[in-house]
């Protein structure tokens, strides 16, 4: 779906409200096709971001797992290695 939306669940430290809101913004941008909405659509766009962020926050708080939290630095290193294989070392 959206390459820029990152998995936020089950990390140590947990996702911040800013990270969840940024993810919601990317999602609404993808759905609407707007990077920046016009003045006519700004209110509904921002309301959608708020609603998606609230739903994401609720989801993150309700999920249950027995898996240990993933380390952000380790996952970032794995992603970097995958990208090096895919696109070549730069």
Three-point CA angle 28, 43, 31, nearest 5°: 15
Domain count, the chain: 1
- Range name among 2-6, 68-72, 80-84 with the lowest pLDDT average: 2-6
2: in domain = no
Tell me the per-residue pLDDT of 34-52, one tens digit each, with 9 for 90 and over.
Answer: 999 999 999 999 999 999 9
Residue of 73, 2, 71 whose CA lies nearest to 31: 2
Domain that holds residue 17: 11-87
pTM above 0.75, yes or no: yes
Rounded distance between C-alpha atoms, residue 4 and residue 6, angstroms: 6
C-alpha distances (whole Å) from 5 to each of 1, 27, 38 are: 8, 7, 23
Q: What is the mean pLDDT of the chain?
A: 91
Confidence of residue 2 (pLDDT cuts 50, 70, 90): low
In a domain, 38, yes or no: yes
């Amino acid at each position: 779906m959206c390459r820029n939306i990152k998995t936020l669940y089950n990390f140590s430290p947990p996702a911040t409200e800013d990270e969840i809101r940024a993810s919601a913004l990317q999602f609404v941008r993808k759905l609407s096709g707007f990077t920046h909405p016009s003045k006519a659509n700004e209110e509904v766009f921002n309301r959608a971001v708020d609603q998606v962020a609230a739903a994401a926050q609720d989801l993150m708080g309700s999920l249950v797992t027995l898996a240990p939290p993933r380390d952000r630095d380790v996952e970032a290193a794995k992603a970097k290695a995958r990208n090096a294989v895919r696109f070549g070392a730069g």
